[in-house]
Chain A
Amino acid sequence: MKAHWIVGTVLVAGLGATANAQTSGGEVLAVFTKNQTNPFFQTFRLGAESAAKQLNAKVTHYIPTKPDSIPEQMSQIEDVIVKKPNAIIYIPVDYKAMVPGIQKMNAAKIPVINATDRSESGEFVSFVGASDYALALESSRILFKAMGGKGNVVALEGVKGTLTNTDRMRGFTDAVKQNPNIKVVASQPGNYQRLLALQVMENLMQSNPQIDGVFAANDAMASGVIEALEGAKRKALVVGINGTKEGVDAVVSGKMLATADYGGFMQGCLSTMIAVRHLRKQPVPKEVIFPPVVIDKSNAAKYSAPVETMACPAWADMPKG
């Protein structure tokens, strides 16, 4: 599985030129994701592949070798326009900076489905995503409920200034407002990084003798926080976001209270289905926002199955907006 997407890319690249005219099978879809490091995008790509397989379409992946690189994704867009796939499934590495790239795709008259991070402008067939705000609001609520509505909370923020982090922190803050007996003793940046989150948590435990709950803006940071707590032999309830395999495992083993699932696999499935349906002149929704799925002890087993074995649900069972 490890080299899966590379093989996919090589295999499919050769077909791009020939598959243009077909309308009921063999469509070539270019899938843009942000990096090879974040498991979310890995599950997204697997979702896209699963849907493509069901629908008899082909996907080619475009992933910047330097994670989230704006110039690299820009030049990949230029390459793709030359290759002329039937449709593009597009996650911008930056929701503002990539707008000129989207304009190029629009000018080349290739239908584009915007996924995960909503682009600031450009013409799209549909948008498929989840709301970071809702994910954070929901996981914070679950945390505060488990704390009995009172106690000291620490927040580990992501990268300041990114859309994702702004939305997630807004969700957290709104949940705090609804719980007057929850006290935020510290809110510090962990930049979505494991090591930094570990160190920040170690530091915060020095100045805060009592920490009852931790909200981490992603699972990698939550994992760092859990290591810090274990190292200090202290206990606190921890929630994360992303529903990564690691996060789900931590929920199953009881180290983590919950993680909110972004539905990477489902987003990959649905974006691909919409692209193919659009090409086959079938109706598609303009926008689908997946509702937040909170994974806790009650449903974790369902999510701990390896993503490679998952298959996309049928179109009829998909949320339509």
Chain B
Amino acid sequence: MTDHSAPSSNVQQVSGWSALPNSVRVTLLRLIALALIVLTLSLTSEAFLTSNNVLNVLRQTALLFLLASGLTIVILTAGLDLSVGANIGLSACLAATIIKSTGSISLALLAGMGSGFLIGLINGGLIAFLRIPPFIATYGMLWILHGVTYWFMGGETIHGFPADFRAIGSGYLWGIPIPVFLMLAFLLVGMIFLQRTRWGQDIYSVGANREAARLSGIPVNSRLVLAYVMSGLMAGLASLIFLARLNSAEGDIGEAMTLPAIAAVLIGGTSLFGGVGTITGTLIGALILTLVLNGMNLLSINASWQPLVTGVIVIAAVYFDNLSNKGDK
């Protein structure tokens, strides 16, 4: 049960590359694209392959990966969650207000995660039970969350949190940034959930063919709700790391994260049509996007050229795969 993407390819008994399951092949190809970027940067910048910079890149990747990992599950069901950035905004502002007024770190964690969870639950309910298309439901949710956040904050910024809280985002354990541990932990949890649990397998089935999944007795609606709840929860967690890293909260804090998170999932090889993809791929996607910024900064590429460079690398990273996949189709 490792091949979720192309059941028919199991039939061919070809040796070598083509014998590998499709999902493994896609991951390997993404790794090659990643390796090419790493190679280019290590040749062009002396600062790139230092342990400091590697940890720096991993810490920056962690935030994007955590957000994108929840989204991966939603996209595997052939869904979409456009509200993750706005979710971060509201969850961060709620957690910030609570930590400021009560001083309690555990209450703040609870508020951030709880708000993320609730938003995910509502999204899931709208999509599974009211049959509202995911794009519309979560796009509507984005606006509602913005409205609530702006009203709640009134254009203000909350800043200055206790050091114990900030450690989640900016602290170290054995010389390694704490967000990196969170990233690895959730990578493992995500892999086990998707590959080794009944629920994870159901997610793939729901995304690949909803009707078939229903007929084979999978509780489609509750799996859909589960997917959006996970996406909401991960946004809630990301909001806490945001707060801890930035030491401040404002209404539009997460907005710039939504598209990069979706892009990380898709660059990682997960299909927008559902049923195909891996959490490892999403990690690679998040790494590629983070490296693009890191590389441009290290090489001091002119501000005017940066959007162009980003666009070209994103498209090239995925085109490269298709190219190597050619013989296949």
Contact = CB atoms under 8 A, between A and B. Distances in A.
B156 interface: yes
A189 B293 contact: no
Interface stretch (A38-46, A125-133, A286-294): A38-46
Contact of B245 (A39, A220, A227): A227
Given A37-B250, A65-B146, A195-B256, 6 more contacts: A2-B152, A4-B154, A188-B300, A189-B303, A194-B253, A206-B47
A200 B303 CA distance: 12
A42 B293 CA distance: 32
Interface stretch (B15-23, B52-60, B128-136, B186-194): B52-60
A193 B256 contact: yes
Contacts of A207: 45-47, 297-298, 300
Contacts, number: 115
A189 B308 CA distance: 13
B221 interface: no
B56 A202 contact: yes
A36 B253 contact: no
Chain A interface mostly? helix
B143 interface: yes
B40 interface: no
A204 interface: yes
A191 B255 CA distance: 13
Contacts of A167: none
Nearest to A6: B151
B150 A194 contact: no
Given A37-B251, A194-B250, A204 B297 contact: yes
Contacts of A246: 157, 159, 248
Interface in B301-329: 303-304, 306-307
Contacts of A198: 245-246
A245 interface: yes
A206 B52 contact: yes
Given A6-B151, A42-B155, A67-B252, A160 B304 contact: yes
B157 A245 contact: yes
Contacts of A187: 300, 303
